[in-house]
Amino acid sequence: MNRKVIGLMAALLLAATVLVLPVGRFPVTVGDMAEALGLWLGGGEPDARQEQILFLFFQVRLPRILAAMLVGASLSVSGAVYQNMFLNPLVSPGILGVLAGASCGAAVGIVIFSSWPVTQALAFLGGLMGVGLSLFFSSLYPKARTLALLVGGLVSSSFFTAITSIFKYLADPTRQLPELVYWLMGTLSRSDAGQLAWISPLMLLGLTYLALNGKTLNALSQGDEEAQALGVESGRTRLKFIGAATLICSLAVILAGIINWVGLVIPHVLRLMVGPDNRTLLPATALGGALFVLLTDTLVRSIWTVEFPLGIFTSLICMPLFAYSLWHDWRRG
C-alpha cells in the first residue's frame, strides 16, 4: 500500500513536470520541446526557433523546475527529520532557527557586501549559526535537552530576526531594501543552472543520507532512552541527522530565500496519509514537497504578468491545509 503511494506520487511528479514545462511567457508546446530535444539528442542541426527552445529548456525552465523540486523536497524532508528528532509532529525547520539564521546572513550579504555569491554563502553560514545557537542553549540545560533545544530554537529565531530587522532598517531604501525584502518573501526567480550545478549534488546527497536512515529515525522518534536500548547512539546520531537536515535546509534558503510552512505542513499531511514509518514517510515527503513547490511556483509565475513571491503563496495555501490536517488528526483520535 505504501509502495503504491510512493509510486503514485513519483508518477504525479513526473506528469506535473511535463505539464509545467510549456507554462511561461515564451509560447512553446511540449511537442515543440520534445522535437527540439530529439534533434539535439540525435546530433541534428536545430533552426533558430529550436535554438531558442533549447536555450529556454536548459537555461530557464529546467533549472527552475529542478530548483522548485529540490527546495520542496529539502524543506519537507528536513521538517520531517526535525519532527522525529524532537518528538513533536508540529515543529518545522524554522524551529531550530535555520530560516531566521539564513535570512539574517542574507541581510548582512545584501546590505554590507552587495554581492550575490557572498550573500548566498552568508545565508548558509547564518543557518548553521541558527542551529548552533539553539544547540548552545540546549547544552545549558542538560536535564531536558529535547525541550531545551526547542526553547533554544525560539531564542535563536528571535535573535536572528532582530538582527535582520537592524539590517532592514540600515538598508539603502532604493536599492538594497527591495532586494532584501524580496529574498525574505521567498522566490525561485533567481535560480540558474550554474547555481544549481553546485548546490544540487549536496542536496541530493543529504536527502539520500536521511532517506536511507528511516529505521534509525524511527528508533530515535521513541525518545533517547528507548533509542539507546534499541541500539542507537542517540546523542551523536541525533546531531548527525539534525546537521544533515540543516544542510539541505540552508541550501534551500540559498536557492529560494525564506519559504515558510512547507517544512511543517507537507510532512504533517503525508504522515496522515502514509503513516509515521520513516522508511516510507521520508521518500513520500520528498516527492510530496517537490510536487507541492513545483505546482505552487508554476502558479505564481503564470497567473499574473508580474511574478509574485513564492513564499507568500506557500503560506496562503499551507495554512488551510494545516488546519484541515490538524482537524482530521484530532477527529481520528
Partner 1 sequence: MIEVRDLHFAYAAGGEVLKGLTLSFGAGEVVNILGPNGCGKTTLLKLMLGFLPAPPGSVLVEGRDIRGYGRRELARRLAYVPQAHHGVFNYTALDMVLMGRTAASPWLRFSDDDQRRAGAALERVRISHLAGRHYLQLSGGERQLVLIARALAQNSAFLIMDEPAGGLDYGHQFHLLKLIRELADDGGPGFVLTTHHPEQAVYLGGRALMIKAGLLTADGPAAEIIDGRAVRDLYDLPPEFSGGPASAWRDYAR
Least distance in Å: CB of 103 to partner 1? 29
C-beta of 87 vs 326, nearer to partner 1:
87
Least distance in Å: CB of 196 to partner 1? 29
Q: What is the rounded CA–CA span in Å between residue 314 and residue 158?
A: 22
Least distance in Å: CB of 231 to partner 1? 3
Strand, helix or coil for residue 141:
coil
For the beta carbon of residue 38, count every other beta carbon within 10 angstroms: 10
Least distance in Å: CB of 242 to partner 1? 17
Interface positions with partner 1 (CB under 8 A) = 84, 87-89, 212, 215-216, 218-219, 221-222, 224-226, 228-234, 271, 275-277, 333
Helices 234-256 and 98-108 pack at an angle, to 10 degrees, of 40
Least distance in Å: CB of 275 to partner 1? 7
Amino acid at 130: G
C-beta of 87 vs 295, nearer to partner 1:
87
- Distances from the Cα of 33 to the Cαs of 40, 167, 196, 214, 244, in angstroms? 10, 44, 22, 39, 37
7-23 b/e (C-beta count within 10 Å ≥ 16 → b): eebbeebeebbeebbee
For the beta carbon of residue 276, count every other beta carbon within 10 angstroms: 17
Least distance in Å: CB of 84 to partner 1? 8
C-beta of 201 vs 235, nearer to partner 1:
235
Least distance in Å: CB of 4 to partner 1? 16
Q: What is the rounded CA–CA span in Å between residue 75 and residue 286?
A: 9
C-beta of 239 vs 312, nearer to partner 1:
239
C-beta of 74 vs 84, nearer to partner 1:
84
Question: Which residue is it, cell 482537524?
Answer: 327
What contacts 322, CB < 8 A, 6 or more positions away?
A: 261, 264, 265, 268, 269
C-beta of 96 vs 196, nearer to partner 1:
96
Q: What is the rounded CA–CA span in Å between residue 279 and residue 283?
A: 7
Burial of 154 (0-12, 13-18, 19+ CB in 10 A): middle
What contacts 320, CB < 8 A, 6 or more positions away?
A: none
Report the alpha-carbon angle 162-267-227, nearest 5: 95
C-beta of 45 vs 225, nearer to partner 1:
225
Least distance in Å: CB of 211 to partner 1? 10
C-beta of 83 vs 103, nearer to partner 1:
83
Least distance in Å: CB of 215 to partner 1? 5
C-beta of 43 vs 231, nearer to partner 1:
231
Rg (alpha carbons) of the chain, rounded to whole number: 21
